[in-house]
Amino acid sequence: DTAVSQTPKYLVTQMGNDKSIKCEQNLGHDTMYWYKQDSKKFLKIMFSYNNKELIINETVPNRFSPKSPDKAHLNLHINSLELGDSAVYFCASSRADEQYFGPGTRLTVT
């Protein structure tokens, strides 16, 4: 009965590589989000999609590209990974007001 799921849970990769994180929600929600939690545990929104359309795009390097193939999925692709991209990335979804978060993907760039 998982609500918001993310894969992989852990991702270790080298600088310069390209990687993707997948997110799926089975709540029937219209809106999905990506957040980044840095080493100081500070959470900040990156992107938001509503019905597969981008509605929030914060100041994020264009190496980060979200893709929403359908309402239930929002994937995050990262090109040319840098050391500073190391963080925990959370996916979330909402229908009206309350946001539900996935378990997070811990990305480590070496």
Partner 1 sequence: KQEVTQIPAALSVPEGENLVLNCSFTDSAIYNLQWFRQDPGKGLTSLLLIQSSQREQTSGRLNASLDKSSGRSTLYIAASQPGDSATYLCAVHGSGNTGKLIFGQGTTLQVKP
Residues contributing to the site for partner 1 (CB under 8 A): 4, 31, 33, 40-45, 48, 50, 55-56, 90, 92, 94, 97-104
In the complex with partner 1, the residue whose CB is nearer, 78 or 92, is 92
Cβ at position 74, least distance to partner 1 in Å: 13
Cβ at position 88, least distance to partner 1 in Å: 9
In the complex with partner 1, the residue whose CB is nearer, 45 or 72, is 45
Scored b (16 or more CB within 10 A) or e, 26-50 reads eeebebbbbbbeeeeeeeeebbbbb
Contacts of 108 (CB under 8 A, 6+ apart): 10, 11, 12, 13, 86
Tokens standing for residue 64: 């980060």
Cβ at position 28, least distance to partner 1 in Å: 16
Cβ at position 80, least distance to partner 1 in Å: 27
In the complex with partner 1, the residue whose CB is nearer, 14 or 42, is 42
In the complex with partner 1, the residue whose CB is nearer, 15 or 56, is 56
